[in-house]
Structure 1
């Protein structure tokens, strides 16, 4: 292992309040930029209390700009840059708090070659990534995550308290939000898994197999082409507008109605179970022998199936 040193540093420091003794209290900031060593092929960031932005490009090498911020001289953060094999590991920690002032953290802006594997674990802060084509793993305890223009990556993205938004293309995508919405917009994937504990789920694009679920919240599939689709919500409605004839659809709602719009021109074997009303538009061709299966169930709500 070897520790890197910053090649350029610029500091801007301002003190708005005066503390006790020789401890200054206020807002302090320092920016530092540097490049990863030659041969670095992966990036891992462990962040606390700062925003992380990662942009992919077709240029070689990894370039980092980090911004340190702190409220007093005793809690200035320490930023570490360590090469572990071919992976650059960035992390930080804050000094002890003084007089109740706890503002401390490090934000990162990083440019990486497009195919670089990227892993980010943030305790408290937003994560934004763009254009990545390698393996992507993004985790935030408290903060929104946005991954745009993915390009063939395997993506695993989870926000404990915050929203998740993803666009682009991924071989497999595993998306999770504890408290917050999950949006996969115009996503192309072989396999998509989405879980939201307390928040809505919205998906559009082209997915071979999708498994979507939420505890409390609605699920909306507007303009989705999917071969195999499994949808579950404990407390919320389900709305599905499918752009291509699916091979298999299974949707279950605990409390909520189900609305499904199917492409015309195909026959479907449809089974419905609902405490409320059940309606299949006569324009939807039903055939119990069809290989295209649709199974919709709700304990408290109604079900409607109409042609697209």
Structure 2
């Protein structure tokens, strides 16, 4: 493994504000420094572990990876310590801060990176936001409390996850796997062959063209407007399902414990519809063509929620 040290072209600055802590010799001024460098030829993959810093990655049709690090710290003892290593064809970037000072550690490294479009990218962040755009290589992004956003994708695989942060994705991904603990998931401009979305307490919003979508939430709602999906499966414990489909699906399956289900289906095709609810009402608009022998199946089951199916 090679460590990029002498290869870095540094553009540094320091901004000082405030005074020193009397008797301790520690300055609580804010310091900043920017560093820019280029990865060696032949690098085809990027891994970033920014700590709590933000990450912005932009794809281009130009060769080579260019990295700009934005360092922020409060005193000489907690200056960030960036690391950049090359192992095989992978550039790995990581950030570590110095000592904590009096209950806080205002130390952070944020990254702005430009990569060739086909670069495989993996980011494992903390409270800082993660944003990538235009990537065609495999994408794997994780944030804890920071938002995770991927736009204008042209990839075969996209895996995005977060804790309490929100996840957003648009573009093209043959396979998309989206997960959060309590954050929301938004995939309203996505074209995908297969989408899997899982969230504990967040809302899920879908749109675009998805051949097969599988969504599961604990307490979050699912909302989709203008969605084209051939196969859609939704399961929620305590969340509303409200879906308007722009094209006739071959299969829709929706299951909730305590949430209502509202579907809008194109009226130009017949559907074999099966509805089941314990305590809620059931209503199918006369404009929806029912036929038990139809090849298109709609199955909805809820324990405590109303079911409504209307024409799109």
TM bucket (normalised to shorter chain) is over 0.9
Q: Does 1:26 align with 2:36?
A: no
- The aligned runs of 1:125-204 (5 Å cut-off) are 125-204=128-207
Secondary structure class of the residue paired with 1:186: strand
Report the TM-score, using the length of structure 1 for normalisation.
0.98
Q: Which has the higher strand share?
A: 1
Match of 2:2 in 1: 2
The Cα shift of 1:56 comes to 0.4
Q: 2: distance between equivalents of 1:231 and 1:100?
A: 45
Structure 2: state its 5+ residue gaps.
Answer: none
Equivalent position of 2:309 in the other structure: 305
Kept in 2, the 8 Å contact 1:43–1:118? The answer is yes
Structure 1 residue 70: Cα displacement: 1.1
Equivalent-residue separation in structure 2 for 1:77 and 1:163 (angstroms): 27
Please say if residues 15 and 24 of structure 1, whose CA atoms lie closer than 8 Å, have aligned partners that are also in contact.
no
Whether the aligned pair in 2 keeps the contact of 1:25 and 1:73 (CA below 8 Å) is no
| Pairwise CA distance, 1:278 | 0.3
Q: State the TM-score, normalizing by the size of structure 2.
A: 0.96
Out of 54, 59, 68, the residue aligned to residue 56 of structure 1 is: 59
CA distance in 1, matches of 2:17, 2:103: 16
Once residues 88 and 26 of structure 1 are traced to their aligned partners in structure 2, the CA distance between those partners, rounded to angstroms, is 33
> CA-to-partner distance for each residue in 1:174-217, whole Å, 9 max, x for gaps?
00111211000121000000011111100001111000111112
**2:45 aligned with 1:14:** no
What is the 5 A alignment of 1:1-308? Answer: 1-5=1-5, 6-19=8-21, 20-274=23-277, 275-308=279-312
Q: How many residues align?
A: 308
Would you say the 8 A contact 1:280–1:306 is kept in 2?
Answer: yes
Distance in 2, Cα, partners of 1:175 & 1:70: 33
State the distance in 1 between where 2:81 and 2:144 align: 21
- CA distance in 1: counterparts of 2:165 and 2:24, whole angstroms: 40
CA distance in 2, matches of 1:141, 1:217: 19
Bigger drift between 90-99 and 188-197 goes to 90-99
Q: CA RMSD in A?
A: 1.0
Secondary structure of 1:256's match? coil
Distance in 1, Cα, partners of 2:19 & 2:211: 58
